[in-house]
Amino acid sequence: MTPEHIVGIVTAALFGAALGSFSNVLAIRWHEEVDLGGRSKCPGCGHVIRPQHLVPVFSWLWLRGKCADCGKKIHIQYPIVEAIAMLLGGIAAWQANPFTSPLQFALLFICTVGFLAPVVMDLRWQELPVEYLVGLGVVGVGLRTAIAWYAGANLLVSLGSTLAAIVIGVGVFWLQVALSRGRWLGEGDVWFGGMMGAVLGAPALVGIGIYFAYIIGGLWAVAGLASGAYKRGSRLPFAPALATGTMVALWHGENILSWIRHGML
Ligand SMILES: [Zn+2]
């Protein structure tokens, strides 16, 4: 690894942490339907949060998870999302050097860090930001098309493959919503499936993403039922599993496909 690549990883991790911090605010303000302008305030006492207390993760640790003004507990969501975003940003730059493969890096960065806001919304309020998911999908298609264009690939083939991937992503989840009349999955998951197709760009990769989403979702359900966090028959938030499955396909999909082709799986 070159020193330049290490600089790229550290920078991307810090940028990821900052975007994680923004994702927290975005999720909450989207849920409360307030606009994104204006400084962040403590929900307890309404004091504007000081700039030195806006440093991701570290401020939360420094303040021991409490507001500096009123002492109200700051939701654990904040440092957790910031820490995960930092990790995901670093991984994106580790997998694709931002200096030598900026488009691949942008795709890996946006399509991992960008999943945090919808995952938080699904976990906390069982709702998904549909327009945001569509936006991620559009950005994913744009970046994939640019990557294909630079690589000299046939753009029609590339777009056709993406379209097929979107149809499969939407179709699989729409079918489950229709069959269960919304008891297993919600409409938001159908949009998530479409976005998954758009950012992965190939039907085989969507298959891998869905496969891992169900394994992770299944383990999550078993753990949730065993710990009493969820009751039998209650709907589980599925976006965390969908996001993780999509990331597995983004990170390792091509490797997994080549293992399958060579009969190693
Ligand atoms: Zn306060």
Tell me the per-residue pLDDT of 24-75, one tens digit each, with 9 for 90 and over. 999 999 999 888 878 888 888 989 989 888 889 889 999 999 999 999 998 8
What is the Å distance from ligand 1's center to 25 Cα? 16
Tell me the per-residue pLDDT of 99-110, one tens digit each, with 9 for 90 and over. 999 999 999 999
Cα–Cα distances in angstroms (integers) from residue 172 to residues 78, 131, 192, 206, 225, in the given order? 33, 20, 11, 10, 25
- Say yes or no to pLDDT of 237 above 80: yes
Average pLDDT over residues 171-187: 87
The pLDDT assigned to 46 comes to: 87
What is the Å distance from ligand 1's center to 219 Cα? 37
- Say yes or no to pLDDT of 227 above 90: no
Angle (nearest 5°) at CA 65 between 63 and 71: 75
Cβ distance 102 to 213 under 8 Å?
Answer: no
**Matching residue, tokens 């936006």:** 135
**Spacing of C-alpha 54 from chain mean position:** 22
What is the Å distance from ligand 1's center to 132 Cα? 30
Averaged pLDDT score across all residues of the chain: 92
* pTM, two decimal places: 0.91
Q: DSSP characters for 89-155? A: HHHHHHHS-TTT-HHHHHHHHHHHHTTHHHHHHHHHHS---HHHHHHHHHHHHHHHHHHHHHTT--H
